[in-house]
Amino acid sequence: MTDRPTTDEAPDARAPAAPPAAITAVDVTLAHGTNVVLAGASLTIGLGTHTSVIGPNGSGKSTFLRAVAGLLPVRAGRLDVPAARRRGGVAVVFQSPAVDTSLPVTVREVVSMGRYPHRGPIRPLTAADRRIVADACERMEVGDLVRHPLDALSGGQRQRVMVAQALAQEADLLLLDEPATALDLPSQALVDAAIAAEVEAGRTVVSSTHDLADAGRADVVVLLAGRIVAVGPPEVALADGPLREAYGERMVTLDGGAVLLDDPHHGH
């Protein structure tokens, strides 16, 4: 019998594997022409989470979402989005409608476009596709508008239609650029419910906002100011110190501790 060698170390000790990520950014720089909008950004966004991106006007919120969507090339660094490798894996809703409102299309036709990555624009929708479209319309409460032309809707209604289109796509990653803009409170509640349902289904949602209350409902907050100021749960990223670093004099603390961010809410 041969004695086995002994060692103080575990025979097969390995570090635990990192959890899978929906988005990985390593020292990413994003720019419009010669204007650098976001510099040296490194972060990891986990699968099946809701991440809120917040920051002052021009901080890089919309630019970051466009880069994740593959609509803006990375100037430097590495940005990995596994969902983008699957056709229809990323759905995007921007502040401006993705469909020209002058086109003679109905609400049903616009929401049905969410199925195009799966079916193509020519092949007819299946019964399953139609059920998915109808469900998305009901979730955003535009089911009674399906025969209406898009250009007959209010701005808030069009925004709900575009969110319904994204839901109909059933993408792994849903990107929402200030989805509550121009929406009344009941419509904002519908968007919040849709985000929660997507995360419950195991999908990943990244939304930008200018509103602290919106950001506070996310799992993770990314605070930007031309760079990443803070990343973490809302109570960490939205603490007084990081907010003051991002907003400077535009942050006002009111009597009672309430915080007001005096900042226009559109731009990059």
Query: Does residue 76 lie within any of the structural domains?
Result: yes
Query: Does residue 95 lie within any of the structural domains?
Result: no
Read off the pLDDT of residues 147-184 as tens digits, 9 standing for 90 and up.
999 989 998 999 999 999 999 999 999 999 999 877 89
What does pTM read for this prediction?
A: 0.87
Query: Does residue 52 lie within any of the structural domains?
Result: yes
Query: Does residue 169 lie within any of the structural domains?
Result: no
Summarize the confidence of residues 129-136 as an average pLDDT: 98
Kindly tell me the burial class for residue 158, based on how many C-beta atoms sit within 10 Å of its own C-beta (0-12, 13-18, 19 or more).
Answer: buried
Query: Does residue 72 lie within any of the structural domains?
Result: yes
User: What is the chain's mean pLDDT, rounded?
Assistant: 89
Residue 218: CATH number of its domain: 3.40.50.300
Q: What is the DSSP letter of 156?
A: H
Query: Which one-letter amino acid corresponds to residue 71?
Result: L
**Does 99 have pLDDT greater than 80?**
no
With beta carbons less than 8 A apart as the criterion, state whether 86 and 169 touch.
Answer: no
pLDDT score recorded for residue 10? 54
Rounded-to-integer distance, Cα 154 and Cα 69, Å: 27
Query: Does residue 71 lie within any of the structural domains?
Result: yes
Q: Which domain holds residue 223?
A: 19-85+209-268
Read off the pLDDT of residues 53-79 as tens digits, 9 standing for 90 and up.
999 999 999 999 999 999 999 999 999
**Does 4 have pLDDT greater than 60?**
no
Query: Does residue 222 lie within any of the structural domains?
Result: yes
Query: Does residue 266 lie within any of the structural domains?
Result: yes
How many structural domains is the chain composed of? 1
What is the three-class DSSP state of 37? strand
